[in-house]
A = this chain, B = another copy of it.
Amino acid sequence: MKIAGIDIGGTKISGAVIENGEIISEIIKEKTPYNSQKIIEIVFDIVEKLLNIADIKAIAIATAGAVNNDNSRVIGSTGNLPKDYPDIEFKKIFEEKFNIPCIIENDANAAAFAEYKIGAAKGSQSSITVTLGTGVGGGIILDGKILKGKSGAAGEVGHLMLGIKPERSCTCGEYNCFEAYGSGTGFRRTIQELSSMLPEFKTSILSDKTKEELTTFDVIAGYKNGDEFCKIAYETWENEIIIGLTSLANIFDPDNIVISGGLSGEVNYEKIEKTINDKIVTTPLKILPAKAGNYAGMIGAALLAEDKLV
């Protein structure tokens, strides 16, 4: 079954033909405009192009923002997308325009579904995919279904609270969220805080940078080269990841937690799996690197469309 897979992110919109969880066409990419009507027009255009190259049976959209339980539209706020984005009746608009079924799902949920169906969690019963990127996102799959909650907004693992007293502010307006520590942005703040705390801060990787200019990837490189400061900073971040994932393991007793996103390649899986399994009160689980790739969102949406529409 060939499906038009679409991914609407804060910076770009992508689309491709997907069959059995594999991308079988070239990938079309466009910049995301800050205008809902223009977003629709771009997606119309991409779907039309995909219809011209394959016998498309459904449209499957992965998007930033929480998606309702009917898989028809976005609810609530959506970060970088236009304010009126939640007003778009995706399912209705696309089904009327193209006369084929359409579903929409949150991109992190869709990516988790892809990991579960064809990726790192394939063959398991319950799996959580945690995305460590600019933010911390997640999707939770229980017995083959995405955990959606009463409105569709469930799975906000980035807003597990890792502290009681207000310490580190989060994009959500609260303090101490997993996202404020585990994300790339959070890691950078950990680096800045630690470097400020050391009166005689020095690191072997500072040759051509001030400490304010240090990036997470500088620090990861320094850690791999045996730099002492970078080791402290990296292990602080690593421990924050461990705390967040330990909470999830104690709540869900899942088969596995899959880590995706820009920082997923920088995680020591063996070490954090062992440490988490030592900490939990539930039973041992696997911590696995994501396998479904950069287009896991649109692939997962397509797999979900097959599940729901066939």
Contact = CB atoms under 8 A, between A and B. Distances in A.
7 contacts: A76-B283, A142-B142, A157-B251, A160-B247, A161-B246, A162-B163, A248-B251
A152 B253 contact: yes
Nearest to A239: B164
A220 B282 CA distance: 33
B161 A247 contact: yes
Classify the secondary structure of A's interface with B: loop
A181 B255 CA distance: 28
Interface stretch (A17-25, A34-42, A143-151): A143-151
Q: How many copies does the complex hold?
A: 2
Contact of A250 (B159, B164, B239): B159
A283 to B, nearest CB: 4
A147 B141 CA distance: 12
A280 B149 CA distance: 13
Interface string A53-77: 0000000000000100000000110
A194 interface: no
Contacts of A252: 147, 149, 154
A43 to B, nearest CB: 26
Contacts of A282: 66, 149, 151, 153-154, 156
Given A150-B255, A253-B148, A159 B283 contact: no
Nearest to A253: B149
Nearest to A66: B282
